[in-house]
Amino acid sequence: MSAPTITALTQPEGISSHARDIAWVETNIPCQVACPAGTDIPGYIEAINNGKLDEAYAINFRDNVFPGVLGRVCSRPCESACRHGRPSLGESVAICALKRSSADLGGSLTIRPNIKSSSGYRVAVVGAGVAGLAAARDLALEGHKVIVYEKHRRPGGMMVQGIPSFRLPRDVVEYEINQVLSLGIELKCGVSIGDDQSLDVLVDSHDAVVLAAGTLSGNRLDIPGVNLPGIEHGLDFLMMVNEQGRQRIGSNVVVIGGGYTAMDCARTAIRLGAETAVYYRRGPQDMVVLPGEVQELLNETGSMNYFKTPSQFRGGQSIQQVSLAKTSIHMEDGKPIIRIDTVSSTDIDVDSVILATGQTADTDWISGRVREAILNEQGDVSVAQGALTPDPKVFVAGDFATGATTLIDAIAHGRKTASLVTRFLTGQDISSRKVKIEKKRYGVDFEGGRFSRTQEMNVIPITPVPTLDLSDRQGSREVELGYNHGTSQEAGKRCYLCHYKFEIDNRLCVLCDECIKVKPTEGCIVPVSDLEVDDEGAVVKYKHLQKGESDSLYYNQLWIDQDKCIRCGQCEAVCPVGAISIQKVSFIKV
């Protein structure tokens, strides 16, 4: 009896919008799915492996707009999802560092993005942070006339106001912002909507308006003494250092918080000469910081203290002492609850306190007719479908819509908002997803006449990103130095290139076992007795052949488990009858 014809994809090549093909990408390329912007990570890493740095940069610019920025400060959800980081497989691929390599070692858009002919529509964007600029970029590519209004003296939002230059050099930010603006976007800095021009007038004079004003209002703690001089919010502190050149702070600084802002404030205070300690009310596993960031704080002489929270601030003319209470985490109804033990407080002497305790959107600048239309009783913007407001011409983007998140989240949200604006203006839905499927052959279609991965690449250890010597960490000197060409190539080889799909056509298979003999991973090629498919025809489960229990004493079907396949290409190379196919599968991006 011939083996049934079951394939993972609906077609051997071409463009597809079939749910089964889209589901294959979503299931088998976990890094891309984890990236809020849907960056084609295996695509750009493969380009780096082939020495095509400009192509790698172009992929990143298309998908996430700011490769050089994100290659330094991205929150890296992709790395947590990377298959290489699973138990027994080692550490995840250095995806973020390789993104930086595409910028540092490539960084050139040799082919400019295609801009559609003028749509005749005018769109205003309020805020020139990453969300506003990402939205503006996509809107400009659709042919709309885009004007960005920024109340500060220069664009960039948190890239220049919040993130210290020792983590994110300003020339990198400026270069990539100018790259966006070069697409025909008009930028007006020093214009405060609400003060210099009302939002009502802006809405009346444009076909659509995107509010991307960020979350610039810092949360204040409701405890005694919080308004003493010498206590400031981290956003204000970083803004003054980064944008106003502030060079002074107390000699004994306490930072309250456990996130990105807390780390940036603490490491900045150290560079201003302060003895600095961070106190966080939860444990290290609860911190939302970049990998290795706490260790760098410790390397730079800062201290990190857990399960402590301020209960009172004391002082005369300024802050002099902080009472720190012990905290503990308890589960109630399945939720973690923080308990504070004020009896066991510890008093410490300080002369400066920085509160890195979160932030919210400021809506006070929204007035008039638009305020009445889009704000709820609590003074927050009423948001539907992530970006729509009750006023059909007004949209929200980034942290202003979602609350404080990360740069990559804000960029992704800005791009989503842009697609909703275009749908509103033109009726065209540009967000529908399609998959490109390409046939590939081992000895013909790859660089050097062979598939780019080998079995040996599976055990290459991760290459740490080199850093500046501690003695040289002064002022704005960048701490992380990035990979060179050699280390980029070595780090890139570790990627499984999950956008390649290997599949056995059991109608052609002669059961010679050659592929099983060379398989590098247990379970990557599986003798099966049955395949279970869903309503779309996608294989969702396979049944291992159990000799003496299954229908046959010997297998008549082989299945390649994509979740265990390391894309080494050996099975396709040894198959004597060409029963194993290779397809490259990726989302089509605008």
**Cα(371)–Cα(380) distance, rounded to whole angstroms?**
10
- Res 553: pLDDT: 46
- Res 3: pLDDT: 46
Q: Taking Cα atoms as reference points, which of 161, 154, 185, 172 lies closest to residue 70?
A: 172
In angstroms, how far is the first alpha carbon of the chain from the final one?
A: 46
- Res 343: pLDDT: 84
**Cα(475)–Cα(116) distance, rounded to whole angstroms?**
44
By the 8 A CB rule, do 563 and 30 touch? Answer: no
Mean of the per-residue pLDDT values for the chain? 90
| pLDDT classification of 6: cutoffs 50, 70, 90 | low
| pLDDT classification of 537: cutoffs 50, 70, 90 | low
User: Among the listed ranges 4-18, 282-296, 493-507, which one has the minimum average pLDDT value?
Assistant: 4-18
User: Among the listed ranges 91-100, 444-453, 494-503, 545-554, which one has the minimum average pLDDT value?
Assistant: 545-554
Examine the pLDDT at 257 and tell me if it is beyond 90. yes
Strand 308-315 versus strand 319-332 pairing type = antiparallel
- Res 533: pLDDT: 65
- Res 201: pLDDT: 96
Please, what CATH class does the domain formed by 26-111+440-493 belong to?
Answer: mainly alpha
Give the single-character DSSP code of 350.
-
Examine the pLDDT at 174 and tell me if it is beyond 50. yes
**Cα(3)–Cα(554) distance, rounded to whole angstroms?**
13
User: 122-216+361-426 and 219-359: same fold?
Assistant: yes
| SS3 assignment, position 265 | helix
Give me the numbers of helices (H) and strands (E) for the chain, helices first please: 20, 22
By the 8 A CB rule, do 212 and 126 touch? Answer: yes
* DSSP of 106-119: I---SSPPP-PPP-
Task: Give the percent of the chain with pLDDT over 90.
Answer: 71
The more confidently predicted of residues 450 and 466 is: 466
Q: What is the CATH topology of the domain spanning 502-587?
A: Alpha-Beta Plaits (3.30.70)
Q: Hey, where are the domains in the chain?
A: 26-111+440-493, 122-216+361-426, 219-359, 502-587
**Cα(133)–Cα(142) distance, rounded to whole angstroms?**
14
pLDDT by residue (tens digit) across 540-588? 566 666 655 544 445 568 888 888 888 888 888 889 998 998 899 998 8
Q: Which amino acid is at 578?
A: G
Cβ atoms within 10 Å, residue 161: 19
Q: Please name the residue ranges forming H helices in 74-122.
A: 77-81, 95-101
Q: Which amino acid is at 94?
A: A
Kindly state the average pLDDT of the residues 508-520: 88
Partners of 145 in the β-ladder: 122
Spatial neighbors of 456 by CB under 8 A, at least 6 apart, are none
Give the single-character DSSP code of 85.
G
Please, what CATH class does the domain formed by 219-359 belong to?
Answer: alpha beta
By the 8 A CB rule, do 259 and 294 touch? Answer: no
Domain 122-216+361-426 belongs to what architecture?
3-Layer(bba) Sandwich (3.50)
Query: Quick one: the chain helix, strand, coil %, rounded to 5?
Result: 30, 25, 45
**Cα(70)–Cα(131) distance, rounded to whole angstroms?**
13
Q: Which amino acid is at 357?
A: T
Q: Taking Cα atoms as reference points, which of 131, 59, 143, 145 lies closest to residue 99?
A: 59
Q: Which of 104-108, 373-377, 509-513 has the highest mean pLDDT?
A: 373-377
pLDDT by residue (tens digit) across 149-166? 999 999 999 999 999 999
Q: Which amino acid is at 160?
A: V
pLDDT by residue (tens digit) across 31-78? 999 999 999 999 999 999 999 999 999 999 999 999 999 999 999 999
The position carrying tokens 């909507």 is 193
Kindly state the average pLDDT of the residues 184-210: 96
Q: What's 217-259 look like in SS3?
A: EECCCCCCCCCCCCEEEHHHHHHHHHHHCCCCCCCEEEEECCE
- Burial of residue 164, with CB atoms counted within 10 A of its CB: 0-12 exposed, 13-18 middle, 19 or more buried: buried
The more confidently predicted of residues 217 and 446 is: 217
| pLDDT classification of 1: cutoffs 50, 70, 90 | very low
- Res 152: pLDDT: 96
The more confidently predicted of residues 89 and 421 is: 421
pLDDT by residue (tens digit) across 274-312? 999 999 999 999 999 998 999 999 999 999 999 999 999
Backbone angles phi, psi at 515, to 5 degrees: -70, -35
User: Among the listed ranges 181-185, 228-232, 393-397, 436-440, which one has the minimum average pLDDT value?
Assistant: 436-440
Strand 435-440 versus strand 14-16 pairing type = antiparallel
